[in-house]
């Protein structure tokens, strides 16, 4: 079932939680490498109706990640796929039990992965969410909470505490 329409992010109080749902959260990823994790989260997005076809989305996200690694030093990666069939920006989140080396080379160990499904024409929302994810990377308490959260609901509570930056 597709997620409900997301309200405009221009108003105060919109958080990262508005762009995901508990069913898109994997507290413990099964996969242990970049391609496997992107596949695991891509299938989740497809099953929840966020992407129409898993294979083109997976290839778009993986190819973009191989060209430009999204990992940052705090242990977060935010790969994304941008496709015309995606109706609204949504993300799936996964946590690796132990950090994994993200990407083919020159990367940081990553434990938290946000896979974003982005409509082909929605640059503004994408940049707002990306900016908020980068902000999250500087919030040590929130990162610690994400690394120890044992349920999708506890992860959602952390996302709800991270308000989107104004565009």
With a CB cutoff of 8 Å and minimum separation 6, the contacts of 95 are: 26, 27, 28, 29, 111, 112, 113, 146, 147, 149, 155
Predicted TM-score of the model (pTM): 0.90
C-alpha–C-alpha distance, residues 37 and 41, integer Å: 6
Strand partners, 92: 115
C-alpha–C-alpha distance, residues 13 and 94, integer Å: 24
Tokens of 158: 């952390």
C-alpha–C-alpha distance, residues 67 and 153, integer Å: 33
Helix (H) or strand (E) holding 37: helix 34-47
Look-up of token digits 């507290």: 27
What are the residue boundaries of the structural domains of the chain, listed by start? Answer: 22-159
Which CATH architecture does the domain made up of 22-159 adopt?
3-Layer(aba) Sandwich (3.40)
pLDDT in tens, the chain (167 residues): 333 334 333 445 799 999 999 999 999 999 999 999 999 999 999 999 999 999 999 999 999 999 999 999 999 999 999 999 999 999 999 999 999 999 876 678 999 999 999 999 998 899 999 989 988 889 999 999 999 998 999 999 999 998 886 65
């Amino acid at each position: 079932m597709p997620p409900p329409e997301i309200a405009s992010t221009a108003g105060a109080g919109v958080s990262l939680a508005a762009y995901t749902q508990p069913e898109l959260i994997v507290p413990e990823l099964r996969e242990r490498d970049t391609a496997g994790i992107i596949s695991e989260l891509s299938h989740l997005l497809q099953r929840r109706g966020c992407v129409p076809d898993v294979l083109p989305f997976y290839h778009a996200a993986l190819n973009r990640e191989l060209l430009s690694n999204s990992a940052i030093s705090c242990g977060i990666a935010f790969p994304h796929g941008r496709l015309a069939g995606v109706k609204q920006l949504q993300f799936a989140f996964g946590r690796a039990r132990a950090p994994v080396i993200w990407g083919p080379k020159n990367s940081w160990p990553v434990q938290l992965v946000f896979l974003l499904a982005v409509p082909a024409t929605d640059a503004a929302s994408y940049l707002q969410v990306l900016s908020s994810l980068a902000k999250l990377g500087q919030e040590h308490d929130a990162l610690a909470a994400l690394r120890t959260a044992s349920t999708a609901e506890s992860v959602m509570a952390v996302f709800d505490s991270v308000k989107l930056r104004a565009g």
